């Protein structure tokens, strides 16, 4: 398994402003956008929401703890990972308008996210902004 440094180098990851972690855009079209996203503690995906659908996909490393807060105030905690027998999910769909945050449960986690329609800077709101 590659090290985080090797992943950063080979994928060309750079810091993701405001949200935290490292990323690179891997796809963009008029229909969707996709990124690779690496979390290494203490970096976290800061609490935010999008006005469009986002799908998180687990790629490697440690599982990722996610907190999702729906517009009705209900909160769910899910773990993005491969141990489905333990309740982890290899992908998590976050509907538009749901507050989300995430953190690695180990030393590093590599995920991908797909945003439909494509991500734009005005499609995201951060907690406290």
Among 67, 18, 26, 60, which Cα is nearest to 40's? 60
Q: CATH number, domain at 30?
A: 2.60.120.10
What is the per-residue pLDDT across 65-83, written as a single tens digit (0 to 9) for each?
999 999 999 999 999 999 9
pLDDT exceeds cutoff 80 at 28: yes
Q: 10 Å Cβ neighbour count for 115? A: 21
Could you give the CA distance from residue 64 to residue 23 in angstroms, rounded to a whole number? 16
Per the structure, the complete domain to which residue 13 belongs is given by 4-120
Give, in order, the Cα–Cα distances in Å from 84 to each of 18, 76, 89, 116, 121. Answer: 31, 17, 6, 26, 33
Give, in order, the Cα–Cα distances in Å from 123 to each of 115, 118, 126, 129. Answer: 10, 9, 10, 13
> Is residue 125 in some structural domain?
no
What is the per-residue pLDDT across 116-129, written as a single tens digit (0 to 9) for each?
999 999 999 999 75
What is the per-residue pLDDT across 51-65, written as a single tens digit (0 to 9) for each?
999 999 999 999 999
Q: What is the pLDDT of residue 129?
A: 59
């Amino acid at each position: 398994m590659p090290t985080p440094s090797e992943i950063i180098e080979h994928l060309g990851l750079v810091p993701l402003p405001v949200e935290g972690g490292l990323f690179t855009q891997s796809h963009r079209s008029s229909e969707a956008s996709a990124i690779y996203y690496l979390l290494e503690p203490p970096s976290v995906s800061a609490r935010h929401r999008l006005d469009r659908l986002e799908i998180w996909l687990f790629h490697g490393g440690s599982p990722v703890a996610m907190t999702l807060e729906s517009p009705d105030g209900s909160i769910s905690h899910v773990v993005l990972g491969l141990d489905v027998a333990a309740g982890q999910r290899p992908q998590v769909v976050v509907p538009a308008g749901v507050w989300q945050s995430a953190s690695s449960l180990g030393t590093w986690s590599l995920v991908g996210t797909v945003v439909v329609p494509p991500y734009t800077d005005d499609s995201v709101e951060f907690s406290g902004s």
